[in-house]
Structure 1
Amino acid sequence: MIARNRPRFRTATEFVEAAMREAILEGVLPAGAPLRQEDLAAAFGVSRMPVREALRQLEARALVEFHPHRGAVVAEISAEDSADIGAIRAALEPAALRLSLLHLTTDDLALATELIAEMDAEADPGRMGELNRRFHMTLYSRAGRPRLLALVEQHLAAADRYLRFQFSALGYHPRSQDEHHALLAACRAGDADAACDIVVRHVIQAGEQLSAFLDGRG
Structure 2
Amino acid sequence: MEILETFAQESIAKRQPATASIADALRDAILKGVLKGGEPLRQDAIAKQFVVSQVTVREAFRMLEHEGLVEVIPRRGAVVYLLSADDVDEITDLRATLEAKLLAAAIPLLEEDDFSAAEAAIAALEQVQDIDSLITNNLNFHQCLYAKAGMPRTVAILDRLRTSLEPYLRLLWSKTAYKQQSQDDHRAILELCRQRKSEEVQKLLRAHIEETGNEIVHVLKSTESK
Which TM-score tier does this pair reach, normalised by the shorter chain?
0.7 to 0.9
Distance in 2, matches of 1:48 and 1:137, equals 38
Q: Structure 1-normalised TM-score?
A: 0.86
Query: What secondary structure sits across from 2:178 in the alignment?
Result: coil
Choose the corresponding residue for 1:76, options 72, 82, 93: 82
Aligned 8 A contact 2:33 2:167 in 1: no
1:28 matched to 2:34? The reply is: yes
Distance in 2, matches of 1:108 and 1:13, equals 37
What's the offset of the Cα at 1:9? 6.1
Query: What secondary structure sits across from 1:141 in the alignment?
Result: helix
Counterpart in the other structure of 1:189: 195
Instruction: Please list every run of 5 or more consecutive structure 1 residues that lacks an aligned counterpart in the other structure.
Output: none
1:111 matched to 2:127? The reply is: no
Counterpart in the other structure of 1:164: 170
What's the offset of the Cα at 1:179? 0.4
More helix by share: 2
Q: 1:17 to 1:104 in 2, by over 3 A?
A: farther
Calculate the aligned-residue CA RMSD, in Å: 2.4
Counterpart in the other structure of 2:161: 155
Counterpart in the other structure of 1:59: 65
What's the offset of the Cα at 1:84? 1.8
Q: Percent identity?
A: 35
Aligned 8 A contact 1:13 1:53 in 2: yes
Aligned 8 A contact 1:133 1:157 in 2: no
1:5 matched to 2:10? The reply is: yes
Distance in 2, matches of 1:53 and 1:107, equals 42
What's the offset of the Cα at 1:49? 4.6
Choose the corresponding residue for 1:40, options 31, 41, 46: 46
What's the offset of the Cα at 1:116? 1.3
Counterpart in the other structure of 1:16: 22
Q: Bigger CA drift: 164-173 or 202-211? A: 164-173
Distance in 2, matches of 1:154 and 1:184, equals 24
Distance in 2, matches of 1:15 and 1:104, equals 38
Query: Match for 2:210: what amino acid?
Result: I
Q: Structure 2-normalised TM-score?
A: 0.84
Structure number with greater Rg is 2
